[in-house]
Structure 1
Amino acid sequence: MTHSLGYLVLLDARGGSPNPPHLDAAFVKLAVDFIRDCEESQIRIAREQFVSMCRKLKEQYLLMETPRQAVLPLRTALGKLADSTSLVTPLHADLCQMCVLSKCYSAALPVLDQEVDDVDPKKTAMTAKDFLLFGYYGGLVYTGLKNYSKALNMFLYTLTAPTMVVNAITMAAYKRYVLVSLIHAGSLRGLPKYAPAAVTRSTKTECAPYQDFASAYSKSDEDLHKAVTAHSQAFADDGNAGLVKLALSARTMRAIQKLTQTYLTLSLADIAAQVGLGSAAEAEQHILRMIDGGQVFARIDEAAGMVRFLEDPERYDTAKVVQRIDGQIQQSIAISGRLMDINQRISTNKGYLNKAGGKDRHTRMEDMGDFGSGPEQMAYQFNP
């Protein structure tokens, strides 16, 4: 499109922000066609207008209650806005949000699976809120895919972002961080040392029900039941009741896995009694799900009501395993190369050297621009 820049300005104005908002099918078609055909070099001159136009398009899809239809245009727009796959843009969060709302989680993987290590507001019109939402919604995408390790890493983007005051996005991310930690590891992972002190302090008061649940998780069934009962309304209000159920189920599965280390055969009734299930039939359902998921290797004798635990049949000597290991090695080498490049750029940056030497300390927070931590940047409302 020859005159993409001028067309963008007109289209952004055309999108408007009517109050109350109303459906505009003509704008949707124009915006989708523009995103597909626009010249990258031109829209990058007016990044803020391009992000604004894309978000107005997103709002239209939300009004139509068709978030799935927003995924492809937003993914195309993201590719045109960023000049590198390692660059985080404001549209990362919007794309992940639409994937979560439409439960089309895998559609975000082409973007999320890219290693991102660059946040540059000058190149993308990125704001602090955009970055926090990227970590939050990215974590929800991986949670929906049951890739809990990556979900925890995404939530940490939000929880470790520099700030001196907390906000609703950070607290929502922490609540899910607690539950995903319990599902994935069976215990709450503490926040890293570089997490802002304000976040660490606030989690103890703002997320007390989740702290209580995590504390009871490693105790007796009775203590855990009390914690769930006491805070069930808080979990429901936060939209986390489903994750609480998954955490309880994961606890039961870990208890069953421990039995495989002690017994070769065991009755379903005994398994139910030892892990706190209501009946042998309930124990059988748990074991069947674990067999399907590769979490345990066993054979069930339904007639006798017995379970025989087996050894892992995988010998880890196949070509597929070797290929996977090689892929992980290559990925580690690539990450190491990027880290060396970043370290080189930082170590030769005059601004960094001045700050590291103790000069201009009073301007450190001012230099962060949109990623500053004053209340004007961070205190905003959020409805997860």
Structure 2
Amino acid sequence: MPKRLFVLTLALVFLTLSCQKGDHKAKEELPTQTVKAKLYQVRPYPVAEYREFVGQVCPKEKITLAARIPGYVRQVLVDEGDTVSPGEVLLRLDDRELKADIEALLAEARALEKEREALISRLDYAKANFKRFEALFKEKAATKDEYEQARAQYLSLAAQKEALLAKQAAIKAKISKVKNLLSYTEIKAPLRAKVVKRLVSQGTMATPGTPLLVLEGLSSFRFCVSLDEGLLNQVDPRGKYLVSFPALKKTLTLSVLAVVPRVDPKAKTFLLKLKLPEGNFVSGLLGRLYFPVGTKEKLLIPKEAIFYRGDLAGVYLVDEKGIAHFQVLRLGDAYVKEGPQFKPALREAQTLYFEVLSGLKSGARIVLEPEKVKDGTKVI
């Protein structure tokens, strides 16, 4: 009797466990809820590919001011970073020796002028005397010797006058030359510019050709970038290229200003210059040029389909039964759609697409409204 009771008890326990397991399995197979949500079918799209080149903003004018005469630097009136105006005095060289030379030449010029005035008086008298003896000689009232003596005196004084005038002209030329050299002692700004380098200090001995200051014009800037020599024939002289400026958080489409058809023999690159609009650009500002090199098909999904669980990015993948399952993804770069092509998202855009590097295949269906679903939700 006890044996039969034990067997019966085991049978009841087994039956109870079987019923509970069946109920649990049935609950697992049933979706928790059913929602209506938009779906997106994953497929590859043609994506424009770019090569990235780093360049910088450079000024239209960059000028190195150098000494034209020897002399000590007496004053430096500007410093690096200062903005200067056309004609503004930036630096002065010692001019005392030149001023002393001018004073000596002026004194000599004054002495020659006094000598000239005295000579003219004597010349006027000699001329009148010569004319008188010339007339007397014709009337045979004066001898030939008297006539020749008066003539010789006149011609001698006339020659002295010419020599004195030549000497005065030479002194005048010297004064003009020294004054011209004196103007070189003041280094002035040739245009509105910014001082980017100060190469000398007060007391420095400058010789002709010694660089003193470096200026960069403020009238206009351009973007300068070096490209690989293999792209020289691929640059469109009338084209436009995307350039991003990280510091300004700005991306612009810039027109080609000039293609310098010279390849650097060491770097194997050539220079491309792009026109910049008016703006808060400064010399040396870094920029990145995106040079198109073709297209490639990539799997793209819209940003709104992406759902984050902590640091994990993923989507809700809908299977053939319409059940949503969270799928972790590895994402690549962001893109925007421009016409039939997708391009890197260098500007802010309302609709972004991200490249799927792993986690999805072409043809998969994903939920575009992930906030509406969770694992096990049936999507219709």
TM-score by length of 2: 0.18
Give the structure-1-normalised TM-score. 0.18
Select the structure with the greater relative contact order (CA < 8 A; seq sep ≥ 6).
Answer: 2
Q: Which has the higher strand share?
A: 2
Larger Rg: 2
